Chains A and B, each alone.
Chain A
């Protein structure tokens, strides 16, 4: 197998995630798009690990660390969304404009 289709697919997944972040209004949907981006990075790490044949398997170990950090990020993110929803009665990003001028 060549690495190129995997790398192109990961780049496509990354840009789909960027599109989702920019176009969605609901905060939970933005968090879903962030998961897509992290997933694209994971695919790249595993592909490069398989390509290089590293004896320490550093690509796969980094992927496991990224998954852990992503779980922590979702927990904190949803807690913040919950707090925002409780205070502002909405979960739409364009209505959180207190720090904009």
Chain B
């Protein structure tokens, strides 16, 4: 158990450091790359908590797809690459620091006073069991969320496309 404790402290500390880099760096590409590392460390944390399938989903969906979308968005909105001092709203900084620190204080006070259990890591969860539960007990939410994803996909295409065809129809 001692070795697992050391590994978890190391993972969580590096998680916070890399996440802080995401919001403080003045280079947009560095922020996206730091988010990749944040998600990779999160996947490592999930492996430590014996949630293998969720860790794999994080790697596949987030690191594989969502980060590519973000880089695409950064490039297409022509955010100035390289160092950019204009990225932060400096007059908000004090307020943002106060708000986030107070949220952190309240959350950690509540968490430390409420939960004091040990994690039982001996019982790993099998992906087979997770799949069976997902397609038996949770099959209706599963289908609903797939429909939501389809609707979001169609909505994204509809919002982002150049509607030249629509303009032509209006002219006729």
Contacts and interface: CB of A to CB of B under 8 A. Distances in A.
Interface of A: 1-9, 11-20, 22-29, 31-33, 35-36, 39, 42-43, 46-47, 49-51, 53, 56-57, 60-61, 63-65, 67-76, 78-83, 85, 91-94
Given A3-B117, A35-B35, A42-B42, A75 B69 contact: yes
The residue in B72, B95, B107 that gathers the most chain A C-beta atoms within 10 A of its C-beta is B107
A63 B120 contact: no
A83 B73 CA distance: 11
A8 B77 CA distance: 35
Interface of B: 1, 4-5, 8-9, 12, 15-16, 19-20, 22-23, 28, 31-32, 35, 38-39, 42, 45-46, 48-51, 53-54, 57-58, 61-62, 65-66, 69-70, 72-74, 76-79, 86-89, 92-93, 95-97, 99-101, 103-104, 107-108, 111-112, 115-121, 123, 125, 129-130, 133-134, 137-138, 141, 145-146, 148-149, 152-153, 155-157, 159-160
